[in-house]
């Protein structure tokens, strides 16, 4: 009897938050997905009772293969580079700073605060500062002048150059090649573990995919009727620098806590065995930071999808070169009144975030289950 009442109370206590989350989180996600499959955004988009016809996945097809949505595709490519460089840059710098501070230099506390401080600024503030620093005729570009060198000529945020270009038409082939490389790596991994038969099988599959990707020009469809070149826009570099500057202090704090958490006797044992500083960090400290690195990657990668305000502050709304899908979503929805297309961009972003978050949730859930057992 008491057990049942306990359960009832538990359900009642949870009910409000379940209802609220169901409505305000999942309900709205569902609504956004629905809107993205309509054509809301024609003539009188803002009428009291706007006309919405169901069009299925048309908006998504337009985004990836439509003539007019090249901006979205460039933004998507930008987003990949933003995420990659923000995560890699913050991890590298953060680790470097953490190792420096771990060795108890003078004024350690002071430097800790200095490095962590940028995190407490909002993206808007740091974006505005960096915008001035990166102005073509001021800030960073004139620094060399003070030591007698010529002024830098890089245009930073207004650069129109692109490197690492590829043709969006051949995206399917590129994807196949990328998948084949992943498969090949997995096959090597399996071979290394000793099961030769499955390893060889997976390897053959990998080579097959690679061959299709490289030679199967006519086998795979071109998804656009015209050539469209995208790549790493040099205009994004300034924004990446600003983001790394802001977040490396944060990873530093994470790593420093990890380094400090390593049991002292382990450190001492390493020293007694004659490990050099380099060997200690390489063989002992950094491998022990793996779980922290994983959560840092998760946190940073979803922060990298929310870089909207930094870009807005640094380049304004229409610097197409440095754009990001989140910025485009805002403009498409609230400036152009194309609510359906805006919603479909939002859904693409949502899926991207899910790719980062879901494995993390699954693994931490499994970890907890394992701990309970």
Partner 1 sequence: MKSICKRLFLVTLMTIGAIAFSFSTMAGGHLKGELEIFSWWAGDEGPALEALIDLYKKQHPGVKVINATVTGGSGINAKAVLKTRMLGGNPPDSFQVHAGQELIGTWVKAKRMEDLTPIFKEMGWMNKFPKDLINLIGTDEGIWSVPVNIHRSNVMWYVPANLKKWGVKAPKSWADFLSIAPKLKAKGVTPLALATNWTANHLWESVALGVLGPDKYDKLWTGELSFASSDAQKVWEMFGKILMHTNTDASSLSWQQATDMVVNGQAAFNIMGDWAAGYMSTTLKLKPGKDFGWAASPDTGGVFMFLADSFGLPKGVTNRDNAIAWLKVLGSREGGDAFNPLKGSISSRLDSDLGKYNAYLQSAAADFGKNRIVGSLAHGVTANEGFMNDFATVMGMFLKSRNAKQGSMAAQAIAIQNGIATK
Please, which residue, 111 or 166, has the CB nearer to partner 1? Answer: 166
Minimum CB separation from partner 1 for residue 319, in Å? 6
Please, which residue, 24 or 110, has the CB nearer to partner 1? Answer: 24
Structure tokens belonging to residue 245: 């500057």
Handedness of CA 263, 266, 268, 270 (dihedral sign): negative
Please tell me what DSSP assigns to residue 262: S
Please, which residue, 52 or 302, has the CB nearer to partner 1? Answer: 52
Please, which residue, 102 or 321, has the CB nearer to partner 1? Answer: 321
Please, which residue, 42 or 302, has the CB nearer to partner 1? Answer: 42
Minimum CB separation from partner 1 for residue 340, in Å? 12
For 47, list phi and psi in degrees, rounded to 5.
-65, 165
Please, which residue, 234 or 289, has the CB nearer to partner 1? Answer: 234
Please, which residue, 98 or 328, has the CB nearer to partner 1? Answer: 328
Residue 125 CB partners (closer than 8 Å, separation 6+):
313
CA angle 64, 36, 316 (to 5 degrees): 70
Q: How far apart are CA 116 and CA 281, in angstroms?
A: 22
Minimum CB separation from partner 1 for residue 225, in Å? 12
Residues found near partner 1 in the complex (CB under 8 A): 41-48, 50, 67-68, 70-71, 131, 134-137, 155-158, 160, 315-321, 330-332, 334-338
Neighbours of 364 (CB within 10 A): 14
Structure tokens belonging to residue 326: 């989140």
Minimum CB separation from partner 1 for residue 48, in Å? 7
Q: Under the phi-then-psi rule, with left for phi > 0, alpha for psi from -120 to 50, and beta for the rest, what region is 337?
A: left
Cβ distance 126 to 286 under 8 Å?
no
Please, which residue, 83 or 315, has the CB nearer to partner 1? Answer: 315
Burial class (CB in 10 A: 0-12, 13-18, 19+), 370: exposed
Structure tokens belonging to residue 44: 């009188």
Minimum CB separation from partner 1 for residue 43, in Å? 6
Minimum CB separation from partner 1 for residue 3, in Å? 46
The helix/strand/coil state of 233 is strand
Minimum CB separation from partner 1 for residue 315, in Å? 8
Please, which residue, 316 or 367, has the CB nearer to partner 1? Answer: 316
CA angle 159, 336, 301 (to 5 degrees): 55
DSSP lists the bridge partners of residue 229 as 167
Minimum CB separation from partner 1 for residue 16, in Å? 24
Minimum CB separation from partner 1 for residue 173, in Å? 24
Neighbours of 47 (CB within 10 A): 8
Cβ distance 102 to 253 under 8 Å?
no
């Amino acid at each position: 009897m008491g057990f049942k009442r306990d359960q009832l109370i538990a359900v009642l206590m949870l009910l409000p938050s379940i209802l609220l989350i169901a409505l305000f989180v999942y309900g709205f996600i569902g609504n956004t997905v629905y809107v993205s499959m309509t054509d809301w955004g024609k003539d009188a988009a803002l009428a009291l009772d706007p006309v919405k016809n169901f069009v299925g996945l048309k908006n998504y097809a337009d985004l990836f293969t439509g003539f007019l949505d090249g901006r979205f595709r460039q933004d998507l490519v930008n987003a990949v580079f933003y995420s990659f460089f923000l995560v890699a840059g913050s991890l590298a710098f953060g680790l470097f700073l953490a190792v420096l501070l771990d060795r108890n230099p003078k004024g350690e506390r002071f430097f800790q605060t200095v490095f962590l401080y940028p995190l407490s600024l909002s993206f808007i503030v740091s974006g505005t500062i960096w915008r001035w620093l990166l102005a073509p005729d001021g800030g960073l570009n004139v620094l060399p002048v003070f030591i007698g060198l010529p002024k830098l000529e890089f245009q930073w945020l207004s650069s129109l150059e692109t490197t690492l270009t590829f043709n969006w038409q051949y995206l399917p082939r590129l994807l196949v090649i990328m998948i084949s490389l992943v498969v090949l790596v997995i096959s090597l991994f399996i071979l290394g573990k000793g099961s030769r038969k499955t390893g060889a099988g997976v390897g053959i599959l990998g080579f097959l995919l690679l061959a299709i990707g490289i030679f199967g020009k006519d086998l795979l469809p071109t998804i656009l009727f015209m050539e469209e070149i995208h790549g790493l826009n040099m205009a994004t570099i300034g924004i990446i620098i600003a983001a790394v500057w802001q977040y490396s202090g944060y990873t530093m704090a994470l790593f420093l806590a990890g380094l400090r958490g390593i049991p002292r006797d382990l450190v001492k044992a390493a020293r007694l065995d004659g490990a050099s500083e380099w060997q200690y960090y390489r063989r002992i400290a950094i491998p022990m930071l793996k779980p922290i690195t994983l959560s840092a990657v998760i946190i940073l990668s979803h922060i990298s999808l929310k870089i909207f305000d930094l870009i807005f502050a640094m380049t304004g709304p229409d610097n197409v070169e440095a754009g990001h899908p989140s910025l485009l979503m805002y403009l498409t929805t609230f400036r152009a009144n194309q609510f359906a297309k805006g919603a479909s961009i939002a859904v693409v972003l949502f899926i991207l975030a899910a790719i980062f978050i879901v494995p993390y949730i699954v693994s931490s859930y499994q970890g907890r289950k394992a701990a309970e057992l």
